[in-house]
Homo-oligomer: A and B are copies of this chain.
Amino acid sequence: MKLGRLNHVGIATPSIERSLDMYRRVFGAEPVSPAFDLPAQGVKVCFVDAPNMQVELIEPLGPDSPIAKFLEKNPEGGQHHVCFEVPDIEAARAHFDGLGTRILGPTRIGAHGTPIFFLHPKDMGGVLTEIMESPRQAH
């Protein structure tokens, strides 16, 4: 499998609103659309466009959020994961399974409406890595 396009960098934040203030002030950047909840993943997310990828801001939905522990260690937020695209999520899952790269949980629908899964940072040089099926172009 070839290294695909970087879809986004995931950045954890205690407050998407505060982070958006910073992106506006520093980079004149507006969110692509309003922040929205992903209750199944325990997070609220919001995307900001750079010319060749997106920044995904991630805020915990509650104290049990999977990013709550990250924010305890990094109260101001910080780089949480990187997300690379693949053409076929099931083929990618079989590829990583075959290599013994640990996959965190089931394949599920991500923030872009396409299937995703996460690879364990301990098998990825310390980097939590999301694998995402490329969104299909609208016809």
Instruction: List the interface of chain A (C-beta within 8 A of B).
Output: 1-6, 9, 11-13, 18-19, 22-23, 25-29, 48-53, 55, 74, 76-79, 82, 84, 96, 99, 101, 121-127
Contacts and interface: CB of A to CB of B under 8 A. Distances in A.
B29 A77 contact: no
A6 B49 CA distance: 10
Given A77-B127, A82-B9, A2 B29 contact: yes
B50 A52 contact: no
A99 B25 contact: yes
19 contacts: A1-B26, A1-B27, A3-B50, A4-B51, A5-B50, A9-B82, A11-B125, A12-B126, A18-B125, A22-B124, A50-B84, A52-B52, A52-B53, A53-B53, A76-B122, A77-B125, A78-B121, A78-B126, A79-B127
Nearest to A57: B125
**Number of copies of this chain that the complex holds:** 2
A127 B11 contact: yes
Contacts of A55: 3
B76 A121 contact: yes
Given A25-B99, A79-B126, 12 more contacts: A3-B29, A3-B55, A5-B50, A6-B50, A6-B52, A9-B82, A22-B124, A26-B124, A74-B126, A76-B121, A77-B126, A79-B127
